[in-house]
Amino acid sequence: MIFEGTPTGEGLHVAIVVARWNALITRALLDGATDALRRHGVADADVDVAWVPGSFEIPLAARWLAGTGRYDAVVCLGAVIRGATPHFDHIAAAAMQGVAAAARETGVPITAGILTTDTADQALQRAGIKGGNKGAEAAVAAIEMATLGRRIAEGRR
Ligand code: RBF
């Protein structure tokens, strides 16, 4: 049997965690994510958003949301920009590894639209200012994983 998720979000409940740090960029990611969820059939009323201070705090909020059992998937959005700070690698790694751990612990799909870039300009480009929006990609990946999980659990294609 071959299992595959689909980009059909009808009836799904989705939570979004978004970091306030670099808010100009993360708001664009949030716009991309909510727009993608809507276009793929997720009802606005079935989408909840939780703001956290920075990307370092994303995993805990994602874990809390996933742990409620109310959501089919959680989408995480942040922007870690290298600039001149040695903190960059630590924050980026903690955010990504923490998100992965929260997904494993709960069994709820949690996707990461967390940008890690050298400059704010690069982050803006990946937040849909000129083209693709990584928030939208993370939202569609969440829908795909939620539908894949259902199909695997039910043993059907
Ligand atoms: N959070 C981000 O989401 N993106 C960043 O680029 C970012 N840079 C930071 C740089 C420094 C030097 C510090 C101290 C924090 C930064 N944070 C950033 C915030 C971090 O994710 C977290 O919210 C704070 O460290 C509080 O725990």
Indicate if ligand 1 lies below 6 Å from the C-beta of 56.
yes
Q: Which atom of ligand 1 is nearest to the CA of 78?
A: 3
Q: Which CA distances in Å does 123 have to 9, 25, 33, 58, 65?
A: 27, 7, 15, 18, 26
Mean pLDDT for the chain overall: 95
Ranges of the chain with pLDDT below 50: none
Write out the two tokens for 28: 């664009």
- Any catalytic annotation for residue 90? no
Handedness of CA 29, 31, 36, 38 (dihedral sign): positive
Instruction: Identify the bridge partners of residue 114 per DSSP, sorted by sequence position.
Output: 78
Whole-model pTM: value is: 0.96
Indicate if ligand 1 lies below 6 Å from the C-beta of 6.
no
Distance from C-alpha of 67 to C-alpha of 86, rounded to nearest angstrom: 32
| Model pLDDT for residues 19-61, shown as the tens digit of each residue | 999 999 999 999 999 999 999 999 999 999 999 999 999 999 9
Residue % of the chain over a pLDDT of 90: 91
Contact 67, 107 (CB under 8 A): no
Indicate if ligand 1 lies below 6 Å from the C-beta of 57.
yes
Catalytic site residue from 13, 40, 87, 90: 87
